[in-house]
Amino acid sequence: MKMDNSKIKLQAASPPLDLKAMAEPNPNSDSRREFLRNVLSGATAATVLMVFGPGATAFSKGAKKSSKAQHQFAYVININNCIGCGNCVRACKRENNVPAAQFRTWVERYVTTKKGVYVESPDGALKGFEKANAEVRAAAKRSFTVPKMCNHCDDPPCVQVCPVGATFKTEEGFVLVDHGHCLGCAYCVQACPYGARFINKDIHKSDKCTWCYHRVKAGKLPACVTVCPNKARLFGDLNDPDSEVAQVFEEDQWMVLKPEMHTDPTCYYVGLPREVV
Amino acid sequence: MNPMNLPADSLVNYIFPNNAEVAWSIMIVIYPYITGLVAGAFVVSSMYHVFKVKEFKPIANFALIASFCFGLFAGLPLLVHLGQPQRAWEIYVTPHTTSAMSVFGYVYSGYLVLLMVEIWIIYRKYFIEMANKTGGLWKLVWTVLALGVTEYHPESEKYDRKFASFLAGLGIPWACILHGYVGFVFGSVKAVAWWATALQPFIFLSSAIVSGMAMLFLMYAFIMWRRRQDYDYVMVKKYAISLWIAFLLDYALEVLELVFVSYERGLHWALIKPLLSGPLWESYALGQMGFLSIAPILVLGVVSLLDVRGKALVYFTSLASLMLVLQVLVMRFNVVVGGQLISKSGRGFVDYEFEFFTKEGVLTAMIIFAMPFVAYYIISRFLPIFERKSLQLRPDE
């Protein structure tokens, strides 16, 4: 299936700012002292505005953009576009050799009824979904499918608890596991509120979605994004204002999973129903 | 459609695909359990060495040796659990200090060293005696244990006693840190509703003291019976009262946690309530908080408050100790495995079944758990653990 990913740019549209040059005092300015005074007063005012100003919360979310990294990757899942085909799950399994019955990504189907919520993810939706049973269908009010994966949190509890620092967050936003150091203690598995981590049965080490780091570094998109037929999964660079993820972010209609956990995910959901956990 | 009492308005038991199995099973149940026995037994030893409770003098060294034996194997379940046990040393050389688990290696090893040094100081006199009394290879062994010093003066005894008291004093906060810290490893995981409470370190610590005391008493009763030696009834009485008070405090904390979470009706209760009334009903409600708590409280209450003497005193205290040892073991299970039974989906419970012959199965746990007792048996062949003066052989000996 041919995909139009032309809008998803992995390279920053504009060259990075030359901070060093900016820090150099203008030889035409009055004096070095005046320059320092201006810098200090400016910095102080900016700090006060950042912390106490009306846009304080918004800035904290946007702080990712101010990182020194050239790219700030983010992932967007549009629930309205997901058809529950399971292509993404299959592609992920193939791309990353994920063992059977373990998942770097999976898809859930929710059917809401008057009596409650019916949720299932048969084998992670590896083969998509069959029709829900007749009783559920008869009582159904609404149905939707929700892809899940590692949220690559900005404040990841898995990174916090790793006793040897084998799991870490890169400046570009990836939460990764260094399999050369992982002890396989599973503390990170416990700490993840999203059930995104597991101890890989084949290698006995912690495993999870990497946003296909190896592909992204080669200028490609994550496997799940590539195979999604309805653009339910988007991946791109928040530093690139033209990227689809940046546009979603700008529209400010995104939500995250389990916000009460305060992990600050960088996997953003569009159209996320309240029933989703 | 929904016969189970499930959380979050769910119609089916939906668990996240990666939550199908619990990641921490029996090994992680017995790890805090054995660690607790170390801390609990040490506290008994310190009752005499630091607080000068004279009734506990006959069992002070016994408690110390037992604590050391448990300590030798406290880290073994963790090692067996690791997916990459050959890398365990990395926790010492590249600790990631934001992790609650990262300094465990230092706290645990340091405590083991403290125990070793204290035992060595207490038994130094004996090593020197034996080095002077024996010959040949044994003399060499005892001389090495005495670090080559074969003279012992009254002054030496004075200094040794002071140093032992100092180490015992230092060991109390260390034991508290060791076990409170194990509780922190669990209590600080916000993603697991059943673990995430600030009370966890205190609950772990108090239950550690209870389990250590109870296990020590069972060992004492067994050893005295096996050696056909008279029980020290004065000590047993005081021990039973101490154990009763320790468990009342422990139970109060456990009840407090439950009452607080249920009364608060917070986010966690929505998940914990169906857990306690569902998968954990037998082991938690009936076992841990019910029979295995109420019965020992009553039995020890009778022993402590009424004039129970002689063999009955030992039998009742042994019975209560047995129940308390089980209570704490079940409590560890309910915390470690129970917490993981709530799927991170918040919409269902994970099935857990005991495995016997797997790497982390019940058989491995039993073998590991037997090791401290074997170690104790071996050490007791070489060291006089109970004071010789206190031995009063029965008439039939």
ipTM computed for the complex? 0.92
pLDDT at residue A18, as a whole number: 37
**A215 Cβ under 8 Å from any chain B Cβ:** no
* Amino acid, res. B332: R
Q: In the predicted model, is pLDDT for residue A40 greater than 80? A: no
- Residues B306 and B312: their CA atoms lie apart, in Å, by 12
Per-range mean pLDDT, top range of A47-56, A224-233, B266-275: A224-233
Beta-carbon contacts of B208 under 8 Å, excluding residues fewer than 6 positions away, are B32, B35, B36, B37, B39, B40, B179, B328
Nearest of A198, A41, A83 to residue B24 by alpha carbon? A198
Does B208 reside within a domain?
Answer: yes
pLDDT at residue A249, as a whole number: 85
- Residues A30 and A28: their CA atoms lie apart, in Å, by 7
A70-106+145-277 under CATH 3.30.70.20, yes or no: yes
Three-state DSSP at A4 gives: coil
Instruction: Locate the chain A residue with the closest alpha carbon to B94.
Output: A164
Does B9 reside within a domain?
Answer: no
- Of A59-63, A166-170, B101-105, B363-367, which gets the smallest average pLDDT? A59-63
Q: Which pTM value belongs to this model?
A: 0.87
Instruction: Locate the chain A residue with the closest alpha carbon to B91.
Output: A164
pLDDT at residue B318, as a whole number: 98
- Of A59-63, A224-228, B1-5, which gets the smallest average pLDDT? A59-63
Q: What is the mean pLDDT of residues A118-143?
A: 94
Instruction: Tally C-beta pairs within 8 A across A and B.
Output: 145
Q: What is the mean pLDDT of residues A77-106?
A: 97
pLDDT at residue A69, as a whole number: 84
Domain CATH number, residue B67: 1.20.1630.10
- Categorize the per-residue pLDDT at A34 as very low, low, confident or very high, splitting at 50, 70 and 90: low
Domain that includes residue B223, residue range: 17-389
Q: What is the mean pLDDT of chain A?
A: 83
Query: What share of residues in chain A are helix, strand, coil (percent, to 5)?
Result: 35, 20, 50
What are the chain A neighbours of B191 within 8 Å (beta carbons)? Answer: 157, 190-193, 261
A120 to B14: CB separation less than 8 angstroms, yes or no: yes
A181 to B345: CB separation less than 8 angstroms, yes or no: no
B17 to A195: CB separation less than 8 angstroms, yes or no: yes
A116 to B2: CB separation less than 8 angstroms, yes or no: yes
A162 to B96: CB separation less than 8 angstroms, yes or no: yes
What are the chain A neighbours of B8 within 8 Å (beta carbons)? Answer: 117, 277
Q: What is the mean pLDDT of residues A177-196?
A: 97
pLDDT at residue B103, as a whole number: 87
Distance between A258 CA and the closest CA of chain B, angstroms: 10
Strands A206-207 and A198-199: antiparallel
Q: Which residue out of B96, B335, B336, B360 would a mutagenesis test of the A interface target, given it has the greatest number of A Cβ atoms within 10 Å?
A: B96
Task: Work out how many domains chain B is built from and give that number.
Answer: 1
pLDDT at residue A139, as a whole number: 93
A164 to B87: CB separation less than 8 angstroms, yes or no: yes
Q: In the predicted model, is pLDDT for residue A219 greater than 70? A: yes
B95 to A124: CB separation less than 8 angstroms, yes or no: no
A164 to B95: CB separation less than 8 angstroms, yes or no: yes
Distance between A23 CA and the closest CA of chain B, angstroms: 34
The whole-number mean pLDDT for each consecutive block of 10 residues of chain B, a chain of 397 residues, reads 72 94 96 94 91 92 96 96 96 93 90 95 94 93 94 92 92 89 94 95 96 97 93 95 97 97 90 94 97 98 94 97 98 97 95 94 97 97 77 43
pLDDT at residue A67, as a whole number: 61
**A194 Cβ under 8 Å from any chain B Cβ:** yes
- Categorize the per-residue pLDDT at A54 as very low, low, confident or very high, splitting at 50, 70 and 90: very low
What are the chain B neighbours of A190 within 8 Å (beta carbons)? Answer: 23-24, 189, 191-192, 340
Q: Are A148 and A232 in contact (CB under 8 A)?
A: no
Does B50 reside within a domain?
Answer: yes
**A117 Cβ under 8 Å from any chain B Cβ:** yes
pLDDT at residue B386, as a whole number: 87
Does B304 reside within a domain?
Answer: yes
Q: Which of B1, B87, B340 sits opposite A183 (nearest CB)?
A: B87
